[in-house]
């Protein structure tokens, strides 16, 4: 035994000057190990929730199709699963630093300011989580008075994950303060945060000080929100902080409304498609499916000028029909092609630009998470969205490939040999089974064989059969890791959606829809002005909010306004989803652009310059989709789904 370890003697611990049992380092190590155990238990809970819910959905499909019996309680089980994933998984995502943040502005600060700002940001996370967790206890008490109609369980069970998740965030934030920052600086900065929050609470509680009106409070809230996001506060916590600030400032409703609307934000059954499609995408990516699709795209278009860049565009179009996550597409395709792109002389900045532009193009390819989220918050048919999105993405893909061809000709890039007939046939056979999945999804939803949620569950099962039974790519340990990763990633996405539900409610209470209508009328009371204005709005807000929150907040507000200008909801949905996609991948703020640069191993500055012509083409493509509705309506009209 080393001299630094505690020793047992007659049932007591010998406390020597070298013993670490009383040192802060040992206490911190013990605290970290305790949190590791808690995290392991939470991960096990996520696995149980995901696997259990998958089993329920698949059993419901089987029972309905064989004995005409449906599980009436499946909706209540799904809601419990979603709240567990959102708040427990969201907390684990915070510890793993997976939550979406915008680091651009913080990196521009002087070096001496960056650590204090990071500490202050984590301090705001702690304050937000502690406040939401505290008010959720009142919601817990109220919910305990009612029971669910089918399972007859206490409604409080749907609130418990929020309370537990916020408590976990507080514990993880404390760990981050103790391990990531200098102790003295952390204490001073946290004291400053505590004083600032106390002053705000004291000022808003004084009866002598008049409360601002909704418009003034909305302005202050938006300033706080965007400042916090730009300094690095995760978007989900920034939305919760903004909601709490507005409610505290105006007294429009008690703070419990923030907790209630956060829980309600996960209550839509259709949201189960998100974890299931994320799960499917992970299975396909880790099971070597992406490599087969890359080889197929190489055989099809690799001989064109700009060969490998053309392969990137086509492969992302194909892969997007499986994963649903455009960031996952960038990682999957970029990691497979990165080495070959370098070998053939393509600069990393060009590779990053094409990856980012292609991912922005593919936002309307089913099963896009953006489509699923928009369909869950607006009265739009997800099946019709799936069919309508294929042609707009194809139009922009063709424009990107034309740009690749033009740049390759101008630079004198060499051409690769055309694939022979046998090579093309072999690549097509290898890609056939993966490509069956998007076809089944679109056909199944369009012709009513199953709901989007059921299709997503079948997609998981199909992916497992393909990866394990056909390709034999996984062991049991690998499958467990994938389910855990799915739970954490799903938790991050669902937590953003839950927080956006609360934030959207707050914006509605602040009369933002009226302000938006006034602003758009001021730009020019015409269809063209509305389309261009809302496009610009979605690009900017999408870049700041990582896309999905922008859709959740602005989609339900803008779609009814679009109807007043004679723009149908399916067409307008394509426009705003594509605009949001540009925002996610626009330099230098879009989080997707950073990921594309990281995958391509490119510097941000060089990739930003290379991205300029691709941004121009993306904007032209979106404008073409916006002003030529035929691109959106052609396929739905063809299959009769409008």
167 DSSP 8-state letter? H
CA distance 178 to 407: 51
CB atoms within 10 A of CB 464: 18
Coil, strand, or helix at residue 632? helix
3-state SS of 26-61 is: HHHHHHHHHHHHHHHHHHHHHHHHHHHHHHHHHHHH
Tokens found for residue 204: 């808003």
CA distance 249 to 222: 13
Over residues 181-196, the pLDDT tens digits come to 888 888 999 899 899 8
Q: What is the overall mean pLDDT for the chain?
A: 83
Mean pLDDT of 599-626: 89
469 DSSP 8-state letter? I
The string of DSSP codes covering 318-359 is HHHHHH--HHHHHHHHHHHHHHHHHHTT--HHHHHHHHHHHH
Cα–Cα distance list, 395 to 362, 389, 496, 618, 629 (Å): 11, 10, 31, 10, 12
* CB-CB contact of 6 with 19 (8 Å): yes
The pLDDT confidence band at residue 328, using thresholds 50, 70 and 90, is low
Burial of 316: CB neighbours in 10 Å, binned 0-12, 13-18, 19+: buried
The pLDDT confidence band at residue 557, using thresholds 50, 70 and 90, is confident
- With a pLDDT cut of 90, the percent of the chain lying above it is 24
Coil, strand, or helix at residue 234? coil
Helix (H) or strand (E) holding 8: strand 8-9
Contacts of 641 (CB under 8 A, 6+ apart): 381, 383, 384, 387, 446
420 DSSP 8-state letter? P
CA 142, 144, 145, 150 torsion: positive or negative? positive
Burial 81-110 (b: 16+ CB within 10 A, else e): bbbbbbbbbbbbbbbeebbbbbebebeeee
172, pLDDT greater than 80: yes
Over residues 16-43, the pLDDT tens digits come to 444 444 577 788 888 889 999 999 999 9
CA distance 459 to 441: 8
402, pLDDT greater than 50: yes
CB atoms within 10 A of CB 582: 26
* CB-CB contact of 145 with 256 (8 Å): no
Terminal-to-terminal C-alpha distance of the chain: 75
The pLDDT confidence band at residue 493, using thresholds 50, 70 and 90, is confident
268, pLDDT greater than 80: no
The pLDDT confidence band at residue 322, using thresholds 50, 70 and 90, is low
Over residues 94-149, the pLDDT tens digits come to 998 888 777 777 878 888 888 899 999 999 999 999 999 999 999 999 999 899 88
CA distance 324 to 59: 24
User: Tokens 């610009």 label which residue?
Assistant: 536
- How many Cα atoms occupy the beta-carbon half-sphere of 55 within 13 Å? 6
Burial of 15: CB neighbours in 10 Å, binned 0-12, 13-18, 19+: exposed
List, in sequence order, every beta strand (DSSP E) within 498-573. none
Cα–Cα distance list, 257 to 169, 284, 582 (Å): 20, 40, 33
Over residues 407-429, the pLDDT tens digits come to 888 887 777 778 888 888 888 88
92, pLDDT greater than 90: yes
Widest Cα–Cα separation across the chain: 87
Coil, strand, or helix at residue 525? coil
Please state at what angle helix 273-286 crosses helix 326-343, rounded to 10 degrees: 20
318, pLDDT greater than 60: yes
Tokens found for residue 298: 């190489």
Q: From its phi and psi, is residue 367 left (phi > 0), alpha (psi between -120 and 50) or beta?
A: beta
Cα–Cα distance list, 342 to 117, 433, 595 (Å): 38, 30, 18
The residue with greater pLDDT, 7 or 258, is: 258
- Length of the chain counted residue by residue: 642
Strands 12-13 and 8-9, bridge-based pairing: antiparallel
- Give the pLDDT confidence score for residue 7 in this predicted structure: 41
CA distance 64 to 450: 11
CA distance 118 to 126: 13
- With a pLDDT cut of 70, the percent of the chain lying above it is 93
13, pLDDT greater than 70: no
CA distance 531 to 535: 6
């Amino acid at each position: 035994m080393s001299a630094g370890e505690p020793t047992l003697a007659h049932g007591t611990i010998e406390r020597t000057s070298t013993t670490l049992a009383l040192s802060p380092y040992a206490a911190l190590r013990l605290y970290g190990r305790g949190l590791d155990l808690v995290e392991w238990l939470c991960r096990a809970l996520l696995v149980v929730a995901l696997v259990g819910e998958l089993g329920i959905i698949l059993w419901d499909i089987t029972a309905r199709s064989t004995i005409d019996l449906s599980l009436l309680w499946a909706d209540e089980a799904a809601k419990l699963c979603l709240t567990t994933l959102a708040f427990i998984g969201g907390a684990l995502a915070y510890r793993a630093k997976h939550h979406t943040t915008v680091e651009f502005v913080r990196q521009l600060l002087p070096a001496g300011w960056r650590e204090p700002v990071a500490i202050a940001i984590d301090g705001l996370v702690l304050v937000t989580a502690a406040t939401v967790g505290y008010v959720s206890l009142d919601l817990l008490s109220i919910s305990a008075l009612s029971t669910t109609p089918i399972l007859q369980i206490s409604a409080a069970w749907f609130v418990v994950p929020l309370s537990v998740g916020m408590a976990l965030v507080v514990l993880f934030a404390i760990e981050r303060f103790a391990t990531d920052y200098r102790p003295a600086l952390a204490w001073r900065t946290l004291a400053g945060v505590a004083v600032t929050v106390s002053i705000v609470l004291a000022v808003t509680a004084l009866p002598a000080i008049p409360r601002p009106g909704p418009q003034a409070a909305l302005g202050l809230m938006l300033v706080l929100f965007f400042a916090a996001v730009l300094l690095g506060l995760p978007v989900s916590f920034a939305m919760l902080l903004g909601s709490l600030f507005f409610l505290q400032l105006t007294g429009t409703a008690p703070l419990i409304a923030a907790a209630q609307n956060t829980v309600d934000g996960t209550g839509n059954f259709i949201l189960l498609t998100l974890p299931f499609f994320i799960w499917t995408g992970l299975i396909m990516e880790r099971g070597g499916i992406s490599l087969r699709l890359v080889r197929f795209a190489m055989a099809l278009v690799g001989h064109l000028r700009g060969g490998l860049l053309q392969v990137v565009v086509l492969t992302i179009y194909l892969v997007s029909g499986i994963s649903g996550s455009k960031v996952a597409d960038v990682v999957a395709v970029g990691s497979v092609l990165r080495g070959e792109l370098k070998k053939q002389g393509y600069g990393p900045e060009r590779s990053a630009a094409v990856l980012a532009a292609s991912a922005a193009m593919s936002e309307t390819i089913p099963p896009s998470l953006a489509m699923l989220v928009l369909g869950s918050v607006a009265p739009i048919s997800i099946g019709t969205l799936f069919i309508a999105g294929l042609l707009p993405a194809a139009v922009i893909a063709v424009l990107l490939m034309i740009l690749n061809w033009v740049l390759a000709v101008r630079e004198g890039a060499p051409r690769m040999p055309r694939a022979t007939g046998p090579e093309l046939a072999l690549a097509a056979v290898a890609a056939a089974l993966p490509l069956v999945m998007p076809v089944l999804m679109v056909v199944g939803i369009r012709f009513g064989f199953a709901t989007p949620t059921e299709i997503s569950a079948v997609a998981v099962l199909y992916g497992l059969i393909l990866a394990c039974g056909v390709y034999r790519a996984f062991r049991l340990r690998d499958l467990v890791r994938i389910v855990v990763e799915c739970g954490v990633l799903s938790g991050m996405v669902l937590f953003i959606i839950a927080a956006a539900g609360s934030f959207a409610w707050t914006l509605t209470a602040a009369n933002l829809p009226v302000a938006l209508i006034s602003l758009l009328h001021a730009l020019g009371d015409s269809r063209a002005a509305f389309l261009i204005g809302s496009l610009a709005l979605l690009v900017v807000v999408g870049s700041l909010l990582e896309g999905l929150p922008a859709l959740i907040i602005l989609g339900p507000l803008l779609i009814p306004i679009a109807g007043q200008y004679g723009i149908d909801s399916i067409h307008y949905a394509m426009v705003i989803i594509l605009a949001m996609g540009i925002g996610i991948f626009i330099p230098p703020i879009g989080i997707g652009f950073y990921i594309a640069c990281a995958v391509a191993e490119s510097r941000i500055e060089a990739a930003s310059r290379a991205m300029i012509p691709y941004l121009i083409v993306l904007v032209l493509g979106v404008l073409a989709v916006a002003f030529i509705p035929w691109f959106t309506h052609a396929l739905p009209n063809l299959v009769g789904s409008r």
